[in-house]
């Protein structure tokens, strides 16, 4: 299954996939209310806060990675059995749908993001939620090579030391937050050595992903090296990971704690500017 699909493809294959609405808003608006107000027919809704994450904390960050048990229970509840093809969407350029994509992708499950989000859907919306029976789904452990913690990030050399095994660290937040922080950030700045790669830069003027060659040029620093992506809380960083996948780069990992974890510990270094 391709990592992204367009609206026409989804319309033609709607009965063959489980569509998942992953709308979530940093400003506090309700993703569930957005889903209830109109969604793609047959779509189910998963919550970034409670289905794809553990409870937030200062020690672990705003969106700690869900345990395998929590994730399996969420998928079971909405009828996603092992091997079920999934298409995830949001209304923000894939910035939250990519979190679900990454979590399924690293488990080798068939999954794609709807390129262009809800606006790319060519048909009508519905307010009717599908009647689904839970399915049996066993928890699968997260592959250790696809996630790193704060101690691992702290141990790695800075990105400028370009040996073949030195990971490039990409920050998916806006350039403003990378340089000076923002209202939701625990303090200004970024992890030392990190490269600014705002997730929105992965999209063209139409709101769809750039071409593989453009994305490969954007993430050129990772062509011959592994890459780690982080953001404010490990959500939009997955958009960078999806973009790298489209560029043919798959030696990638997520730092789930991201700046909300790293920056909350004043003993950890930070750079600004």
**Catalytic positions:** 231
Quick count: other Cβ atoms within 10 Å of Cβ 140? 14
- How many residues are recorded in the chain? 273
CA distances to 20, 83, 239 from 92, in Å: 14, 27, 11
Q: 3-class SS at 262?
A: helix
Encoded tokens for 62? 């705003």
**Sheet containing 111-114, strands listed edge to edge, beginning at the edge strand earlier in sequence:** 4-5, 111-114, 86-89, 18-21, 44-45
H/E element, 246: helix 237-246
CB 113 within 8 A of CB 44: no
Q: Is 4 helix (H, G, I), strand (E, B) or coil?
A: strand
């Amino acid at each position: 299954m391709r990592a992204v699909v367009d609206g026409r493809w989804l319309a033609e294959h709607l009965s063959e996939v489980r569509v998942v609405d992953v709308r979530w808003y940093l400003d506090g608006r309700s993703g569930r209310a957005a889903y209830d107000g109109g969604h793609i027919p047959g779509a189910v809704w998963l919550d970034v806060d409670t289905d794809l994450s553990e409870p937030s904390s200062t020690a672990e960050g705003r969106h700690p990675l869900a345990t395998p048990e929590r994730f399996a229970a969420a998928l079971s509840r909405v009828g996603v059995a092992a091997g079920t093809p999934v298409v995830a969407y949001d209304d923000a350029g894939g910035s939250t749908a990519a979190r679900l994509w990454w979590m399924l992708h690293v488990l080798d499950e068939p999954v794609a993001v709807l390129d262009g989000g809800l606006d790319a859907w060519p048909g009508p919306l519905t307010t009717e939620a599908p009647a689904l029976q839970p399915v049996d789904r066993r928890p699968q452990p997260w592959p250790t090579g696809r996630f790193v913690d704060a101690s691992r990030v702290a141990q790695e050399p800075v990105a400028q030391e370009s040996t073949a095994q030195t990971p490039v660290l990409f920050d998916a937040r806006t350039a403003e937050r990378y340089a000076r922080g923002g209202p939701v950030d625990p303090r200004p700045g970024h992890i030392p050595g990190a490269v600014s790669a705002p997730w929105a830069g992965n999209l063209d003027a139409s709101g769809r992903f750039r071409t593989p060659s453009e994305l490969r040029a954007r993430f050129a620093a990772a062509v011959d090296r592994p890459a780690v992506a982080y953001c404010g809380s490990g959500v939009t960083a997955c958009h960078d990971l999806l973009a790298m996948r489209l560029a043919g780069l798959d030696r990638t990992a997520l730092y789930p704690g991201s700046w909300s974890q790293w920056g909350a510990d004043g003993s950890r270094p930070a750079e600004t500017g």
